[in-house]
Amino acid sequence: MSCFGSTHTYKGQDYTKLKKEAQKKGTLFIDLEFPPDDRSLFYSQGKLADVVWKRPKQICENPKFFVEGTSSGDVKQGRLGNCWFVAASSCLAIHKDIWHKVIPDAKDQEWDENNPNNYQGIFHFHFWRFGEWIDVVIDDFLPTQNNQLIYIHSQTKNEFWSALLEKAYAKLFGCYEALDGGELSEALEDFTGGVSVTVNMVKLNLANDAQERAALFTRMQKEAGRKALMAASIPAESSEEMEASTETGLVKGHAYGVTAVKSVALEGSGLFSFFKTEKIAMVRLRNPWGQGEWNGPFSDGSPEWQKISKDEREKIGLTFEEDGEFWMLFDDYCKHFVETAICRVVNTSMFSLNKTWHEGLSHGAWKSPGRAGGCINHKTTFASNPQFIFDITESEDDPMFHLLQKSTRSAAGKENDTIGFSIFKVEKNRRCRIHDHTKQMFVESSTFKNSRSIFLQPALKAGRYVAIVCTFEPNIQGEFLFRMYSSSASNFKELTVDKPGLGCLNLCCCCCFGAGVRLVTQIQILKAEGLERQDVGSGADPYCIVSCEREKVRTKTVEDTINPEWNESVIFYRRNMRKPLKIQIWNSNVIRDSYLGKHVFTSTADFMDNIQTVELVGRGKNGEKKPGKLYIKVTQSRNLLAV
């Protein structure tokens, strides 16, 4: 399945059906769900006077949906403070495969000069919303003053795709005012269904760290090749700074679309120039206002361009028009911009020649009481949050995690909650919820922000993990979508069962049989020392098998050592406390594995974090002592919610 799945109608409006009805009546469509009046402009008191809603034919002659296709220059910001949406639209314009999804049936929606009676004044657009694609229908009435479009418009007066796209997006959120102020990542995600990350270049000290700067350039080049949508911004720190120009011509509180990331060749000079070409890292950006550009090195018409050959300038499509598009050295980019937003369109198709990802997706909610425990700072309630289990089956992987709160801009004055998540490595056979996160191995936490979405891409080794998603403060209620993308199948799912019971035979280990569980035992297999040398060289490739009643769990194999470190854990819900728990150590061989020793655990006492150093014995009941010691940490309790 690709990122572009099936589409659902918004407010039950079927585009094809409504268009046929208007055609049959011989009238132009009027959208009563988003009427051409102040209700569609504002959620607060009206702020614009003398607004006249007009159809494109009333604004100009020969209106067109597209004029010579789309380009980033087709999108110019109007009076609405939605440069985040405008910049995303500029990015959309240069990615044809994406805008064909967002703007479906482009040719069929175009005005037909030869058949004017086929035009019904109805359009539709697709947006991704929390795991599904929504088809939004609108009429073609647009707000104007003095016969000029108030909001987004094209540099070509008779081109209307960007204005109509903005109207459909405003309808999705309730009104135009709801788009005033926002995060660039929101629109990028809604155009693609992709996952967004915002890189803070100031916090990473990219202006002074050449190595980190080079790493970001390589990453952005790679993402540009993957057709990721990218943009940059300089956040304003006060209302006075909003949309204020800097000395370099860049604007604060404004988002710029990144339209190219290139290594550009300098014109050769000197004896060895024929054999060696020096390249400089550059980035091209576009101001969605359509004017106002960078005035530093390599700005339009600057003398630095003489260092670039004519062929190379033509190759990168250099122009010196006052169109809002400009080039910068990547060093200057990292010095003057603060944030870079990158939205990757995730390919999950199993039939693709490009890299594919395995998707895990779940809708959930923070509910109070019981499932809204706050962040890890709230130690007694944190584990009550929604939890998601997954496996990393490769030796290493860099899975992507994406948490979105289902906030809505239409709720006037309602800000996003501060959200995030933490990841723990858990027992290899865990199937029930975590109850004490301190008994697990903490791996990494995302940032906690009051953003609509949170992204994290950690480096994880093979094993089983649990992600706990939460709001920063406890007792905050809300709904969310949590997504995971990994290189191989992860068995991603929400954990809903607190402990073994009659209804969880498929969720818990087979030894518990649901009812009758009396004891929970968590064993952390830490390490061993001084094992028997059985192989040439380092002596052994040891692994452990831990068994309880009718379940067996195997640890990883540690190669070429008699002093292995495993740092893995297992958990058993035990019915028969008198039956022992056995830990065997084996040496992995090509033909047949050989025995290194065992320890039999028989205690039924309650204890927490008891570190034990135990001797190893042979296979029989009264087996001989074997070389080496095993280090384990045991948590055991009759309270099944202890771990």
Active site residues: 83, 254, 287
Three-state SS string across 288-322, please? Answer: CCCCCCCCCCCCCCCHHHHHCCHHHHHHCCCCCCC
Beta strands in 309-452 (DSSP E): 325-329, 339-344, 358-366, 387-397, 400-405, 419-425, 441-445
Residue owning tokens 């094209």: 154
Give me the half-sphere count of Cα atoms (radius 13 Å) on the Cβ side of residue 192. 28
Given phi > 0 = left and psi -120 to 50 = alpha, else beta, which region is 370?
Answer: left
Report whether 451 contacts 344 (CB < 8 A).
no
Backbone angles phi, psi at 184, to 5 degrees: -55, -40
The full 3-state SS of 187-241, as one line of letters, equals HHHHHHCCEEEEEECCCCCCCCCHHHHHHHHHHHHHHHHCCCEEEEECCCCCCCC
Query: Which of 573, 557, 551 lies closest to 636 in space, CA to CA?
Result: 573
| DSSP conformation class of 411 | S
Cα dist. 103→15, 107, 511, 560 in Å?
Answer: 13, 10, 55, 58
CA quadruple 375, 381, 386, 391: dihedral sign: positive
Three-state SS at 403: strand
